[in-house]
């Protein structure tokens, strides 16, 4: 997977520059007003475009929302896969970097808005024929990439015998849990926690220490 294709991280996704600009405005509306603040008329006015253009470009309102998610997801940087630390200290450093990135992303206002949007679209049990709709896109293009990066790092760490584990996915989930805890769900619920940067670092330090304790290579 992950062919060396990767055309253009910015102008990718078949979005005109104009369209991207409109989506950017839409995202802002979404961040500072939630789902129902994003009306077609409102977006048209805010973005200085006509409703007719919106419908020509995106089909319908659902299409606009979907486009926002897709567009934003296309901006997550590809994770420098070449980060293959050779010393245990570097490995720990790489884990810490991942942790802080994860915290920064998940608690960012735009990520929260997008997650709220996607979650709001989920209908109970029998979600249409299309499995999950928006949430699926968000998970696929957002979380999966982060997960891939982490698992790559973890597997590398295992090969280098910095850590040991049987199931990479399980190890990743544990790492995630140690880092995030219940911060994400509380942030989603509006329980605004710390935006403090040093807080993140402290949290990261504790999480990584614990993770390394759990998965330390017995040979050490």
3-state secondary structure of 39: coil
Pair 105, 111: CB distance under 8 Å:
yes
Residue nearer to a copy of itself on the CB measure, 159 or 186: 186
Q: Does 210 bind a copy of itself (CB under 8 A)?
A: yes
Q: Does 195 bind a copy of itself (CB under 8 A)?
A: no
* Beta pairing partners, 182: none
Q: Does the CA dihedral 39-43-44-49 come out positive or negative?
A: negative
Residue nearer to a copy of itself on the CB measure, 81 or 191: 191
Half-sphere exposure of 115 (CA within 13 A, CB side): 18
How far, CA to CA in Å, does 117 sit from each of 7, 165, 206? Answer: 28, 36, 31
The mark string for 170-189 relative to a copy of itself (x by CB under 8 A, - otherwise) is x--xx-xxxxxxx-xxx-xx
Residue nearer to a copy of itself on the CB measure, 162 or 172: 172
Q: Does 122 bind a copy of itself (CB under 8 A)?
A: yes
Q: Does 144 bind a copy of itself (CB under 8 A)?
A: no
Minimum distance from CB of 169 to a copy of itself (Å)? 10
Give the whole-angstrom CA distance, residue 140 versus residue 51.
Answer: 30
* The one among 51, 75, 144, 192 contacting DNA by CB under 7 A: 51
Give the whole-angstrom CA distance, residue 117 versus residue 139.
Answer: 13
- State the residues that interact with a copy of itself by CB under 8 A: 30-35, 37, 109, 112-113, 115-116, 118-120, 122-127, 131-133, 135-136, 138-139, 143, 170, 173-174, 176-182, 184-186, 188-191, 206, 210, 213-214
């Amino acid at each position: 997977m992950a062919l060396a294709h990767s055309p253009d991280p910015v102008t990718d996704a078949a979005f005109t520059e104009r369209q991207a600009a409109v989506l950017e405005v839409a995202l802002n509306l979404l961040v500072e007003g939630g789902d129902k603040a994003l009306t077609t008329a409102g977006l048209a006015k805010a973005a200085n475009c006509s409703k007719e253009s919106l419908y020509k470009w995106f089909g319908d309102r659902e299409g606009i929302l979907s486009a926002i998610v897709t567009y934003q997801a296309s901006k997550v940087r590809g994770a420098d896969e070449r980060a293959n630390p050779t010393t245990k200290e570097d490995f720990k450093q790489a884990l810490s970097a991942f942790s802080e990135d994860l915290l920064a992303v998940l608690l960012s206002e735009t990520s929260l808005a997008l997650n709220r949007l996607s979650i709001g679209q989920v209908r109970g049990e029998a979600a249409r024929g299309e499995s999950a709709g928006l949430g699926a896109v968000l998970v696929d293009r957002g979380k999966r990439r982060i997960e891939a990066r982490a698992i790559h790092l973890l597997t590398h760490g295992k090969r280098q015998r910095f850590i040991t584990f049987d199931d990479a996915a399980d190890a990743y989930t544990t790492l995630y849990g140690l880092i995030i805890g219940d911060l994400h769900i509380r942030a989603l619920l509006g329980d605004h926690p710390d935006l403090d940067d040093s807080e993140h670092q402290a949290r990261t330090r504790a999480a990584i220490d614990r993770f390394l304790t759990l998965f330390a290579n017995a040979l050490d």
